[in-house]
Amino acid sequence: MTDQLVRFGVAMESSLLEEFDQLVEARGGTRSEALRDLARAAIAKRKVRRGVEAVGTLTLIYDHHVRDLSEKLTELQHDLGEKIRSTLHIHLDHEHCLEIIVMQGRSDDLHSVAERILALKGVLHGAIEVYAHDSGHHHHAEHHEHKKQAAPSKARKRAKQA
Ligand code: NI
């Protein structure tokens, strides 16, 4: 199935257009391609905020000498079960570790997990990147997760009503 291209007029201040054209030139391609990419990025960002199936990476730098931090991080990840897809750990130097945690689940859940981890004492730097991604087979895992939980979270309830 082909997605038909639709033409429409865009009005823009000349100064904004000038700067936009500089951006188009720097990245290569056409105005239309640049606008489409911006639209897709803005739409994806909005979906992620609302709470959709997503994948994400959480990057952390932490001091493993801080009491109980390594244990807390491991425990949190075990609690998350299927949400954690992979972890990369690098011992940076005597006290610092870098960890990249690849997660999959609802975007709002991934953000709250990241906030909990980033708030731990001893975590020096960290950031999360989340992308909307609905892989069909993931619904099966979601189903089992519901059974284990006493009650669906408020975010889940909201999403169902929407
Ligand atoms: Ni380490």
The closest of 101, 102, 89, 87 to 133, measured between CA atoms, is 102
The closest of 78, 77, 87 to 57, measured between CA atoms, is 87
**71 lies in the same domain as 127:** yes
The confidence score (pLDDT) of residue 137 equals 55
The confidence score (pLDDT) of residue 81 equals 87
Q: Domain holding 105: CATH number?
A: 3.30.70.1150
Per-residue confidence of the chain (162 residues) as pLDDT tens digits? 688 999 999 999 999 999 999 999 999 999 999 999 999 988 888 887 788 999 999 999 999 999 999 999 998 888 888 899 999 999 999 999 999 999 999 999 999 899 999 999 999 999 999 998 887 654 444 444 444 444 444 444 444 443
Q: Write phi, then psi, for 33 (nearest 5 degrees).
A: -65, -40
Distance 148 CA to ligand 1 centre (A): 32
**137 lies in the same domain as 88:** yes
Residue 103 inside a domain? The answer is: yes
Distance 93 CA to ligand 1 centre (A): 8
8-state DSSP, 152:
-
The confidence score (pLDDT) of residue 1 equals 62
Residue 120 inside a domain? The answer is: yes
Residue 21 and residue 14: Cα distance in Å, rounded? 10
Residue 65 and residue 136: Cα distance in Å, rounded? 41
Exposure of 153 by Cβ count < 10 A (0-12 exposed, 13-18 middle, 19+ buried)?
Answer: middle
pLDDT single digits (tens) 23-51:
999 999 999 999 999 999 888 888 877 88
How many structural domains are present in the chain? 2
The confidence score (pLDDT) of residue 28 equals 94
Distance 95 CA to ligand 1 centre (A): 8
Q: Can you give the residue range of the structural domain that contains 88?
A: 53-154
The confidence score (pLDDT) of residue 153 equals 41
Distance 92 CA to ligand 1 centre (A): 7
pLDDT single digits (tens) 136-148:
654 444 444 444 4
**43 lies in the same domain as 70:** no
Distance 27 CA to ligand 1 centre (A): 38
Residue 38 and residue 10: Cα distance in Å, rounded? 14
Distance 65 CA to ligand 1 centre (A): 10
Distance 96 CA to ligand 1 centre (A): 6
Distance 142 CA to ligand 1 centre (A): 31
**42 lies in the same domain as 106:** no
Distance 87 CA to ligand 1 centre (A): 12
Distance 156 CA to ligand 1 centre (A): 35
